[in-house]
Amino acid sequence: MQMKTGVEQAVYALVLLSLLPDKAALPGEAIGSRLGASPTYMQKLLRRLGNAGLVQSSAGAKGGFRLKRAPGDIAVYDVYLAVEGRQSMFAPRGTLQDMLDRPGQGCGCRLSALMDEAEASWRSILGRETIETLAEAMRSGGYEAELTDLRQWVRNASRKDEIA
């Protein structure tokens, strides 16, 4: 019952992308190495975010990834969904039917309903915070200096040729 580590990495990758100037893009490798994650695996995560419509990618030189929606429009829940998939946590195995010796599989069991309810509540809370609110929390949480440094880094990483 552990959440994939990719969810955390994906969330912060999106936070990073939210600092990107308009029309610019960030290569997956740069994102991965900045986050201390495996660059190749980060690529894979970004592709999933792309398939989920959270991120836009452009191939070719000077290509990379950028946000497809506004940061305030991307909830943590969306990221979770993109990385972990749509399946529910609890997968009933028909134990109740076996116990009652009922071949019918219509698991009208209360347990399943309870689990689904719990998960729905869990998900709804993940929907409360967005990439924007997370970034805002960093800004007002004593990380202003680091944020401006980070913004600077993002500029450099997104247009290396114009540094010199």
Partner DNA sequence: GTACTTTTACTCGGATACCGTCTGTCCGAGTAATTATGG
Partner DNA sequence: CCATAATTACTCGGACAGACGGTATCCGAGTAAAAGTAC
Picked from its own copies, DNA, none, the partner binding residue 71 (CB below 5 to 8 A depending on kind) is none
Calpha distance 20→31 (Å, rounded): 12
Span 105-124, contacts to its own copies by CB under 8 A? 108-111, 114-115, 117-119, 121-123
Using CA of residue 145, residue 146, residue 151, residue 153, what is the dihedral sign? positive
Q: Are 36 and 30 in contact, with CB atoms under 8 Å apart? A: no
Total binding residues for its own copies by CB under 8 A? 59
Picked from its own copies, DNA, none, the partner binding residue 69 (CB below 5 to 8 A depending on kind) is none
Calpha distance 75→54 (Å, rounded): 10
34: nearest Cα among 23, 51, 20 = 20
Q: Is 86 a residue that touches DNA (CB under 7 A)?
A: no
Binding site for its own copies (CB under 8 A): 1-5, 7-9, 11-12, 15-16, 34-37, 76, 84, 87, 89-96, 98-102, 108-111, 114-115, 117-119, 121-123, 125-126, 128-129, 133-134, 137-138, 141-143, 146-147, 149-150
